Amino acid sequence: MRVGVFGSECKADKLPVVKGLFGKLNVLGAEIHIQRAYYDFMIEKFDYRPENSKIIESEIFDFDIALSVGGDGTFLRTALEVNKQDIPILGINTGRLGFLADVGSDQIDETLDELFRGDYKTEERSLLRMCTEERAFGGFNYALNEVAILKRDTSSMITVHTYLDDDYLTSYVADGLVIATPTGSTAYSMSVNGPILLPRNRNFILSPVAPHSLNVRPIVIPDDCIITLNVESRTNSFLASLDGRSEDLPVGISLKISKAGFTTRVVKRFNQTFYQTLREKLMWGADARS
């Protein structure tokens, strides 16, 4: 099996987990390819060179599976690098709270055994596509979690005039607006009181950030809607963010947000359900007195 390994910087106490991962891949006879930045970090920080591995030197590659080693932020960056190449991604969590990277460090061996037996499932996750009059975000204007429109470093709120399929919805006077996928419903959108959606839901969420009017609430819309945004700001600019990648944009620009024409494939274990993840990560049903 050809395996691409993508990761992020980590603390020294995570090194045994990383070494165990590469050791297990070698035992299983994997053809290991490592992201250049991750490989360089392991050498510079820990003087560790994984055995029998190659470096990913091109933006175009062909793997049977990609491993994301880190947290959900690392998973998002891995999805960005995998792009449209239709490679399933498994998230291995060496961080804290992880909805995308939900395989714990104590589950790596058994998960990889299942993986190499073909004993796993994949979920197709929708992405958002943001279009502007001018090229932005290096041409890769897609987000797996959310598109966020935010005020810049000022106390003044922005106004986001919002249209769905050219029908006027409302003008959000707020610190910003988050447009989230079902995958992103447990990320930024949830932190501003947006609802949680199941990954298979065919919807998007519009969640205002600190709205001026308290009766403006998050709304769930069909994912085939075309969302058009026009922003007003006293600073004559605003911040647009795609999964944490941010750029300043001028007011007067029109943003069109829609469902992307491709998906991200996420690897899941058969015994791991979204409901179980909610219970474990959000401690649903847990009694704090226990």
- In the numeric block, the tokens 């106004």 are attached to 159
Nearest to 257 by CA among 226, 223, 220: 226
Decide: helix, strand or coil at residue 16: helix
Distance CA(220)–CA(257), nearest Å, equals 15
Decide: helix, strand or coil at residue 166: coil
Taking the C-alpha atoms of 182, 198, 71 and 106 in order, what is their torsion angle to the nearest 10 degrees? -170
Could you list the active site residues?
Answer: 72
Can you state the percent helix, strand and coil of the chain, rounding each to 5? 25, 35, 40
Within 10 A of 284 (CB to CB), how many other CB atoms are there?
10
> H or E element: which one contains 114?
helix 108-117
* Contact (Cβ atoms closer than 8 angstroms) between residue 243 and residue 261: no
Nearest to 66 by CA among 270, 265, 271: 265
Within 10 A of 213 (CB to CB), how many other CB atoms are there?
11
